[in-house]
């Protein structure tokens, strides 16, 4: 036994709903569905048995049948004698015969649908008792019912809420066959019926009904305690009806095929799917400010990128390859710069950055020996423009025709 476990799909504490399937399988686990459908349960209808311990049942042909509650036998020990207060509990169905002992298996026949409970107290001495001092019984005549519900279930069928829409006083059973109803009630009663019932002087429960009642009463064992008085049926009936309803609904969950048209996928009903959507809401003032800031950013970015960015270098000198690219076509890559035309040129030779005519005959921007390089115009640097002007190309082309190169190009 465990506590706090969720109920199976399509089941509440008192009703079972024949499973429904939705045609559209697309969805998420957070979706839930609402539908109007029928749920099936039981109305126990329990009442105390006073001086008359009989009820009228129904046979297979719906004819009346007399039913009787068993009596508690006088205690006589067979193995281990008991002394002092002793108790006896009865849980089961009524019998077709009168004067039937609760301590033996008895025929139930047409009376198997009527559920009974009873308690007896006596005093044992030397392994026997003279008579039952006190006993009480009550009987339940359960009726299978069907209610129309506004049902909400999750994607797996677990019931989130169930609201009854029709009259709760009706006993309509949803067109279940009489044989199915009778069999369901008999199975429910037999699940509570213990085996090997006997007189006892301890507080150990011997059947499921008394075990559940003990749990509901915070492990209070007064129901089976020989030293306590016989329980009052009027007090116990609401608790017994609650347990009976839950057990019957759980039994229906195990046999959904008994419902009409279940094997043919059941009737078509209309329902709704509820899906959670994520939406963002903000105050009007915050929205205006956010929109204004976004518009300013868009205008600024458009202006900057539309104007363009000045190019200072053909490539960023961040790697060895890019640095070598500035000198690959210069005279530094050849041995010519080590052999100046005269001593004056050799004395004034330095390295410079600017435009130069490379050994491949093309104009480049990079580093070369000073006589071969035209420094970048300072004003051009201020403007962010390092493109090769036409005058620089002409100077570089005329350089090869000059007899001496003592000028400084700016």
81-134 pLDDT, tens digit per residue, is: 788 888 888 888 887 776 666 655 666 777 888 898 988 888 887 767 666 678
In a domain, 5, yes or no: no
Query: What is the number of alpha carbons within 13 Å of residue 162 lying toward its C-beta?
Result: 20
Same domain, 382 and 259: no
pLDDT digit string (tens) for 399-409? 544 444 443 33
Same domain, 72 and 137: yes
Same domain, 129 and 203: yes
In a domain, 24, yes or no: no
Give me the pLDDT at residue 324, please.
87
Give me the pLDDT at residue 304, please.
79
How are strands ordered across the β-sheet holding 351-357?
A: 363-369, 351-357, 373-375
Same domain, 87 and 199: yes
In a domain, 99, yes or no: yes
Interstrand relation of 54-58 and 64-68 (parallel, antiparallel or unpaired):
antiparallel
Q: How far apart are CA 192 and CA 250, in angstroms?
A: 14
Give me the pLDDT at residue 410, please.
33
Give me the pLDDT at residue 403, please.
43
Same domain, 193 and 290: no
Contact 20, 39 (CB under 8 A): no
Same domain, 291 and 356: no
Is the model more confident about 159 or about 102?
159
Same domain, 110 and 233: yes
Q: How does the average pLDDT of the chain come out, rounded? A: 77
Same domain, 142 and 41: yes
Does residue 60 register a pLDDT over 60?
no
Of the pLDDT bands very low, low, confident and very high (cuts 50, 70, 90), residue 42 is: very high
Does residue 261 register a pLDDT over 60?
no
In a domain, 114, yes or no: yes
Same domain, 218 and 366: no
Does residue 388 register a pLDDT over 80?
no
Is the model more confident about 178 or about 326?
326
Of the pLDDT bands very low, low, confident and very high (cuts 50, 70, 90), residue 297 is: very high
Same domain, 248 and 293: no
Give me the pLDDT at residue 165, please.
84
Give me the pLDDT at residue 404, please.
43
High-pLDDT (> 90) share of the chain, %: 10
In a domain, 376, yes or no: yes
Q: How far apart are CA 258 and CA 144, in angstroms?
A: 13
Give me the pLDDT at residue 247, please.
92
Cα angle 72, 191, 41; round to 5: 115
Of the pLDDT bands very low, low, confident and very high (cuts 50, 70, 90), residue 275 is: confident
- Region 38-59: mean pLDDT is 77
Q: How far apart are CA 85 and CA 202, in angstroms?
A: 10
Q: How far apart are CA 390 and CA 377, in angstroms?
A: 13
Of the pLDDT bands very low, low, confident and very high (cuts 50, 70, 90), residue 270 is: confident
Residue 362 φ/ψ, nearest 5 degrees: -110, 155
Q: What is the DSSP string of 236-275?
A: HHHHHHHHHHHHHHHHHHH-GGGSTTTTTT-----EEEE-
Give me the pLDDT at residue 343, please.
57
Does residue 1 register a pLDDT over 60?
no
Is the model more confident about 275 or about 99?
275
In a domain, 170, yes or no: yes
Alpha helix segments (H runs only) across 255-352: 284-307, 320-325, 343-348
In a domain, 17, yes or no: no
Same domain, 51 and 98: yes
Does residue 395 register a pLDDT over 90?
no
Total length of the chain: 410
Does residue 244 register a pLDDT over 90?
yes
Per the structure, how many domains does the chain have? Answer: 3
Same domain, 183 and 261: yes
pLDDT digit string (tens) for 309-363? 565 677 788 889 888 888 888 887 776 666 665 555 555 567 888 888 888 888 8
Residue range of the domain that includes 372:
320-399
Is the model more confident about 27 or about 258?
258
What is the enclosing helix (H) or strand (E) of 137? strand 134-140
Is the model more confident about 153 or about 4?
153
In a domain, 186, yes or no: yes
pLDDT digit string (tens) for 188-213? 988 888 877 788 888 888 889 999 99
What is the enclosing helix (H) or strand (E) of 192? helix 178-192
């Amino acid at each position: 036994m465990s506590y706090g476990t969720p109920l199976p799909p399509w089941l509440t504490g008192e009703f079972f709903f024949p499973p429904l399937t939705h045609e559209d399988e697309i969805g998420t686990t957070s979706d839930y569905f609402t539908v109007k459908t029928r749920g099936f349960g039981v109305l126990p209808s329990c009442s105390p048995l006073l001086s008359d311990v009989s009820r009228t049942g129904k046979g297979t042909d719906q004819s009346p049948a007399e039913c009787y509650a068993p009596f508690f036998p006088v205690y006589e020990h067979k193995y281990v004698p008991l002394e002092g207060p002793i108790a006896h509990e009865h849980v089961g169905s009524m019998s077709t015969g009168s004067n039937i002992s609760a301590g033996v298996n008895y025929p139930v026949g047409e009376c198997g649908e009527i559920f009974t409970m009873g308690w007896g107290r006596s005093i044992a001495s030397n392994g026997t008792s003279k008579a039952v001092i006190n006993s009480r019984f009550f009987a339940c005549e359960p009726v299978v019912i069907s209610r129309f519900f506004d049902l909400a279930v999750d994607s797996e069928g677990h019931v989130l809420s169930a609201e009854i829409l029709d009259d709760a006083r009706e006993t309509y059973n949803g067109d279940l066959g009489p044989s199915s109803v009778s069999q369901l009630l008999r199975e429910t009663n037999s699940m509570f019926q213990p085996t090997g019932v006997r007189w006892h002087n301890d507080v150990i429960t011997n059947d499921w009904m008394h075990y559940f009642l003990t749990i509901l009463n915070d492990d209070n064992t007064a129901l089976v305690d020989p030293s306590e008085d016989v329980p009052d049926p009027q007090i116990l009936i609401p608790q017994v009806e609650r347990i009976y309803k839950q057990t019957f609904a759980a039994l229906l969950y195990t046999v959904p095929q008994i419902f009409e048209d279940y094997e043919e996928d059941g009737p078509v009903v209309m329902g709704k799917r509820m899906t959670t959507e994520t939406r963002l809401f903000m105050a009007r003032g915050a929205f205006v400010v956010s929109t204004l800031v976004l518009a300013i950013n868009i205008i600024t970015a458009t202006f900057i990128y539309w104007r363009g960015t000045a190019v200072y270098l053909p490539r960023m000198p961040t790697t060895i390859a890019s640095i070598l690219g500035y000198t690959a076509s210069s005279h530094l890559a050849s041995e010519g710069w080590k052999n100046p035309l005269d001593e004056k040129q050799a004395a004034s030779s330095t390295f410079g950055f600017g435009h130069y005519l490379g050994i491949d005959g093309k104009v480049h921007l990079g580093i070369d020996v000073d006589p071969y390089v035209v420094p970048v115009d300072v004003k051009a640097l201020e403007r962010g423009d390092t493109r090769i002007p036409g005058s620089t190309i002409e100077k570089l082309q005329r350089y090869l025709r000059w007899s001496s190169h003592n000028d400084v190009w700016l």
